[in-house]
Amino acid sequence: MFKDNKNSLARQNLTILFLAQATVGNQMVMIFIIGGLAGQSLANNPCFATLPISLIVLGSMLSANPLSLIMQKYGRRVGFLLGIFGGALGGIIGCIGLYLSDFSIFLIGSFLSGIYMSAQGFYRFAATDTASPEFKPKAISYVMAGGLISAIIGPQLVKLTSGSFIIPFLGTYLTVILLNLVGAFLFLYLKIPPLKNEQHKNHESSSYIKILKTPELLVAIICAMVAYALMNLVMTSSPLAVVGCGFTENNAADIVSMHVLAMFIPSFFTGHLIVRFGNIKIITSGLLILSLSGLVALSGISLANFSIALVLLGIGWNFGFIGATSLLANSHTPELRGKIQGLNDFIVFGGVTVASLASGGLMNCAGSSAVAGWNAVNFAMLPFLILAGLAIIFLSQRTKIKSTI
């Protein structure tokens, strides 16, 4: 996979991050498959079925900046172990909520699980910390490829555990707790040093307004937010739509599995494509594929439609999100990484929070049937796509003007 010797430490860290994505990362796949279904079984109002997933994303959004600043000062390992603690605690409280059939307690567990989701989001940035500039896109791509293992194992774990106890989904959340224990051991081997004191001073001098006025950073943040928000908007509703249209929970798990495979299989070559064609072209391709996903979803409700739409959704997310992450990683200095990466994930997961909140409402309350709700979810992609498209056009035109001067 790797040939150069100057990235030996980066390769070592990348191995740990890949394994973490492949093992501990299963919990996010599992929770996203059954979170809406568990919420639907506990909530009095079906419009709130996806609220647990929304609160996971909200927890991720609110913990992004604190975690990033902690990693900036104390190192990545400390931040990732805090994420592990949040994931385990969220799983424990989720179990209590399911056991007591208490939706409020279940929501608290979901919110705390967001701390892990936020920490996992920084795996991709941590992969670049000790990498050379030309290796960064590949490092991001490879660490994201660890999600391929989660795509295979996660849905199978759901099938094995969701009905293993009398209380539905309790076994799944117990498995989540065990996965976090595995992660606690993995991160003991991560070797990414924190920044030096003088670098912290430079980091503190840059304001958020100044960061957002940098075109490359602003466009990277917008495109990452749109790619992730659209993926979450549609994926969150897809199990509800599949079951609502007369198919089984196992069908829903299989479709989500195909979706997650599509999210991560391209990671083995996305970094190479970015090196060859550039970030902008890869992001643009991702947005076009996301648009095609919506069109397929709107054209019918067969299993084939669900499957193809979710596969395209995964590929589009991969190109859009990894392309935007690479653009961001190459547009700032190391001393600014804590503030910029924290701001990026705060905005990204803010958009994802809105999308996930809207997902349940659109799916269950936007029409008189599951079909109407599913159509509403996919029509809601349009304004996000327009926003990202305008951002890409702006940056492309700006780049052309600069090249002629």
Q: What is the DSSP string of 354-397?
A: HHHHHHHHHHHHSSSSHHHHHHHHHHTHHHHHHHHHHHHHHHHH
Please state which of the ranges 127-141, 196-210, 384-398 shows the lowest mean pLDDT.
196-210
> Which amino acid makes up residue 350?
G
Residue 320 CB neighbours (<10 A):
28
pLDDT of the residue at 198:
45
- Has residue 171 got a pLDDT over 50? yes
Q: Measure the CA–CA gap between 403 and 405, rounded to whole angstroms.
A: 6
Please state, in angstroms and rounded to a whole number, the distance separating the CA atoms of residues 250 and 264.
Answer: 21
Least Cα distance to 144 among 44, 30, 268, 240 occurs for 268
Is residue 399 pLDDT above 80, yes or no?
no
Report the run of H or E that residue 317 belongs to, with start and end.
Answer: helix 303-329
Among residues of the chain, what percentage have pLDDT more than 90? 37
* pLDDT band for position 135 (cuts 50, 70, 90): confident
Q: Let me know: does 100 contact 162? Beta carbons within 8 Å.
A: no
242, with CB counted inside 10 A (0-12, 13-18, 19+), is: buried
The whole-number pLDDT of residue 195 equals: 61
- Summarize pLDDT for 10-36 with one digit per residue, the tens: 888 899 999 999 899 999 889 888 887
**Residue 7: partners with Cβ closer than 8 Å, 6 or more residues away:** 130, 131, 132, 135, 139
What's the CATH number for 9-404?
1.20.1250.20
Give the whole-angstrom CA distance, residue 175 versus residue 30. Answer: 9
Measured in Å, how far apart are the chain's first and last C-alpha atoms?
Answer: 40
At residue 311, the pLDDT reads 96
Mean pLDDT of 321-325: 91
Between CA 33 and CA 242 the distance in angstroms is 12
pLDDT (average), residues 149-169: 86
Yes or no: say if 138 and 272 are a contact pair by the CB < 8 Å rule.
yes
Whole-angstrom Cα Rg for the chain: 20
CB hemisphere CA count around 242 (13 angstroms): 27
Q: Which tokens belong to 84? A: 């592990």
Lowest mean pLDDT among 106-120, 129-143, 269-283: 129-143
Q: What is the DSSP code (8-state) at residue 76?
A: H
Residues in the chain: 405
pTM comes to 0.76
Closest to 40 measured CA to CA, from 405, 364, 348, 319 = 364
